[in-house]
Structure 1
Amino acid sequence: MKQKNLLKSRKKLDLRYKQLMEQAYNLRQTDHEMSDISEFRALKTLNKLNRLKFLARGEHLQSIS
């Protein structure tokens, strides 16, 4: 059950990251400030995604042992 929740969270964060990066790219030519803010939020989301992947990896290793 926990693995399903982790997978759902990872997919949600991945989608959010892609949306924010696309928004930052689209705003780059018209509004530099909003582009930077969107990119910052995307990087924070990517950080959360990487931490979640790390935790999921740790649980996977414990289940093997």
Structure 2
Amino acid sequence: MDNIQIHKRKLNQRYKELIEQAYNFRQTDSALSDISEYRAIKLLDELNKLTYLYREPSHQLLHKI
């Protein structure tokens, strides 16, 4: 596994943690919930960029099938 995949996994794990935090704060502290959700959205944006920039070329995908 390369460094990009490792980084993506870490970002994805952090994203899930932030979404869970946002959900848990929803009833007790809406401001903290919004902050956690905002941070999660920023992480998701970074994850999407990594996925787009470092996707496998389509000809490599065909050979894996």
Is the shorter-chain TM-score for this pair beyond 0.5, marking a shared fold? yes
Question: What RMSD over aligned residues (CA atoms) do the two structures have, in Å?
Answer: 1.7
Alignment partner, residue 8 of structure 2: 10
The size of the alignment, in residue pairs, is 60
Q: Give the Å deviation of 1:61.
A: 1.4
Alignment partner, residue 57 of structure 2: 61
Alignment partner, residue 63 of structure 2: none
- Unaligned 5+ residue runs, structure 1? none
- Unaligned 5+ residue runs, structure 2? 61-65
Percent identity (aligned): 50
Residues 4-60 of structure 1 show CA distances to partners (whole Å, capped at 9, x for unaligned) of: 111101100000000000000000000000000000000000000000000111xx2
| Counterpart residue identity of residue 50, structure 1 | N
Greater per-residue helix proportion: 1
TM-score by length of 2: 0.85
